[in-house]
């Protein structure tokens, strides 16, 4: 059974939104191809071939969306929000890529919760976060 793995609430929200987007694109593309079933007849695409075309076009579109998302900074958004709002640590968007690996679960499913940062004064949290990131790299 597939399991949705997430490290914090912002990561869960991001992944659920992404799954919802992919599901919507999958359904919409399939419906679009099926709706234009009559338009495909002159090309010799009828019956089960229309259904196959709908599934293949949906999968291709979903793969394209995943590829684009992996090449953009969007996966950094949950880490940025977690550090800024949950840990209440001042950080700039340009610095997120240096610490984002701290919020990705390891192969055994563990991750660094960084709850000890909350016990530090706010002016020391940023330095402690980057020091930990440098140590673990």
* Cα distance between residue 66 and residue 23, in whole Å: 12
Average pLDDT over residues 45-71: 79
For residue 110, give the nearest of 2, 1, 4, 7 by alpha carbon. 7
Q: How confident is the model at residue 130 (pLDDT cuts 50, 70, 90)?
A: very high
Q: Is the pLDDT of residue 109 over 70?
A: no
Q: How confident is the model at residue 2 (pLDDT cuts 50, 70, 90)?
A: low
Sequence ranges of the domains in the chain: 9-70, 76-136
Q: What does the pLDDT look like over 6-17, one tens digit per residue?
A: 777 888 888 888
Q: What does the pLDDT look like over 34-49, one tens digit per residue?
A: 777 777 777 777 777 7
Strongest mean pLDDT among 49-53, 56-60, 105-109: 56-60
Mean pLDDT for all residues in the chain: 81
Please report the DSSP string for 45-114 in residue order.
--THHHHHHHHHHHHHHHHHHHHHHHTSSTTHHHHHHIIIIIS-----GGGHHHHGGGGS--TTS-----
Q: Is the pLDDT of residue 112 over 80?
A: no
Entry pTM: 0.66
What per-residue confidence (pLDDT) applies to 4?
A: 67
Q: Is the pLDDT of residue 121 over 80?
A: yes
């Amino acid at each position: 059974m597939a399991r949705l793995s997430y490290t914090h609430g912002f990561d869960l929200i991001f992944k659920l939104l992404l799954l919802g987007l992919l599901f919507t694109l999958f359904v919409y593309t399939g419906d679009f191809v099926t709706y234009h079933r009559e338009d495909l007849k002159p090309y010799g695409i009828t019956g089960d071939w229309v259904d196959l075309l709908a599934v293949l076009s949906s999968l291709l579109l979903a793969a394209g969306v995943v590829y684009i998302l992996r090449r953009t900074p969007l996966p950094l958004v949950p880490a940025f929000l977690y550090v800024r709002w949950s840990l209440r640590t001042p950080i700039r968007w340009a610095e997120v890529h240096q610490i984002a690996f701290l919020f990705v679960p390891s192969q055994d499913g563990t991750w660094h919760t960084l709850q000890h940062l909350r016990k530090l004064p706010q002016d020391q949290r940023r330095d402690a976060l980057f020091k930990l990131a440098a140590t673990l790299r």
